Amino acid sequence: MASSHPDRRTPDRIAVRGIRAHAHHGVYEFERERGQLFSVDAVLEVDTAAAAAADDLQLTVNYAELAQQLRAVLDGEPVNLLETLAQRLADVCLANDLVDAVEITVHKPEAELGVPFDDVTVTVRRERG
Judge whether 97 lies within some domain: yes
Residue 120 has pLDDT above 90, yes or no: yes
Judge whether 65 lies within some domain: yes
pTM of the model: 0.91
Give yes or no: 108 in active site: yes
Judge whether 2 lies within some domain: no
Nearest to 129 by CA among 89, 102, 109, 106: 102
CATH code where residue 25 lies = 3.30.1130.10
Judge whether 106 lies within some domain: yes
Catalytic residue (one of 69, 108, 110, 119): 108
Judge whether 7 lies within some domain: no
Judge whether 108 lies within some domain: yes
Residue 1 has pLDDT above 70, yes or no: no
Judge whether 34 lies within some domain: yes
pLDDT digits (tens, 9 = 90+) for 6-58: 556 789 999 999 999 999 999 999 999 999 999 999 999 999 999 999 999 99
- How many domains, in total, are found in the chain? 1
As a three-state string, the secondary structure of the chain is CCCCCCCCCCCCEEEEEEEEEEECCCCCHHHHHHCEEEEEEEEEEECCHHHHHHCCHHHCCCHHHHHHHHHHHHHCCCCCCHHHHHHHHHHHHHCCCCEEEEEEEEECCCCCCCCCCCCCEEEEEEECC
Judge whether 52 lies within some domain: yes
- Write out the residue range of the structural domain in which residue 57 sits: 13-127
